[in-house]
Amino acid sequence: MIVIAGLTKNPLPVIAGLLRALAICHCGLLPPRDWIRNPLCQPNNLQAKSTTERIPIMTAYERVVAARDKKRATSLDLINGIFDDFLEMHGDRRFADDKAIVAGIAYLENTPVTVIGIEKGHTVRERSMRNFGSAHPEGYRKALRQMKLAEKFKRPVICFIDTSGAYCGIGAEERGQGQAIAENLMEMMTLKTPIISIIIGEGGSGGALGLAAANEVWMLENSTYSVISPEGCASILWKDSSKAEEAAECLKLTAEDLLGFKIIEKIIAEGDLLVDGLRSQLVEAVKKYKAMQPEELTEQRYQRFRVI
């Protein structure tokens, strides 16, 4: 709530216990015996660890700005450029069709695959329709439905991620936003088909992680991946979102930082050959993982996160 108020510069309306256990219980997501009224811990101070100094080509915040550029290729741009015969599937079969997430089946050269992407759009009208890439719970449930179908028909899953974070509105919380993301994480870890996730712009918080429990995670060179936006971090630490540049450096959210921490496996160069380069690397990765047994896939995925 502090983050939202700090970013919007407006005080939030007083909604009694919106994110407290009591309100979650009223939505049917928590039984009464699990109410927790006292905080279990206090937030720790964020401290940047010293590293070998180097002169980066771009600062961390410049990468953030580049990742948010509305002229960047979106998920649909890449899907239409890389894959053939993409057929979009709609709805989560529970509540609604979330337009912030597109999902469907396509061909990667001659291999049938399931493709899922968080879509922001380019124009104001498109971005409004796509909720600026902030998905509701039904979006993550739609993605999971397609993943389970991919597992059934032995299709590799390829995810494109570009979101500042999952939607944090009242309705989304009432419909179980956190539960939907947690369910995706649990199911993706045991999915018996290859999963490749690519961060193509912003990789914000749980909204990105909900599609990133994969065998490999790649990032475009000017994308970011972090637990919170620089502005949100600055609002919490210093109660001043204008200190976002300083927060961006502390968060270590660039592709180079995350490759060094072994959070991701690969950095994809951007430019005119982005689509062709991504297609060829995806073909190689899919071929590699399709040769593995289902048990090997899940074990590799498990060990990948164990070593982080």
Assign residue 230 the CATH number of its domain.
3.90.226.10
Question: To the nearest whole number, what is the mean pLDDT of the chain?
Answer: 85
Q: What is the tally of structural domains in the chain? A: 1
52 belongs to a structural domain: no
7 belongs to a structural domain: no
Instruction: Please tell me which residue, 274 or 46, carries the higher pLDDT value.
Output: 274
49 belongs to a structural domain: no
- What are the tens digits of pLDDT across the range 106-155? 999 999 999 999 999 999 999 999 999 999 999 999 999 999 999 999 99
- pLDDT at residue 51, as a whole number: 34
11 belongs to a structural domain: no
Sign of CA dihedral 121, 125, 127, 131: negative
- pLDDT at residue 28, as a whole number: 55
Instruction: Please tell me which residue, 307 or 301, carries the higher pLDDT value.
Output: 301
Q: Cα–Cα distance between 142 and 103 in angstroms, integer?
A: 8
299 belongs to a structural domain: yes
50 belongs to a structural domain: no
pLDDT score of 48 more than 90: no
Which range, of 55-64, 182-191, 213-222, 266-275, averages the lowest pLDDT?
55-64
5 belongs to a structural domain: no
82 belongs to a structural domain: yes
Domain range enclosing 142: 57-306
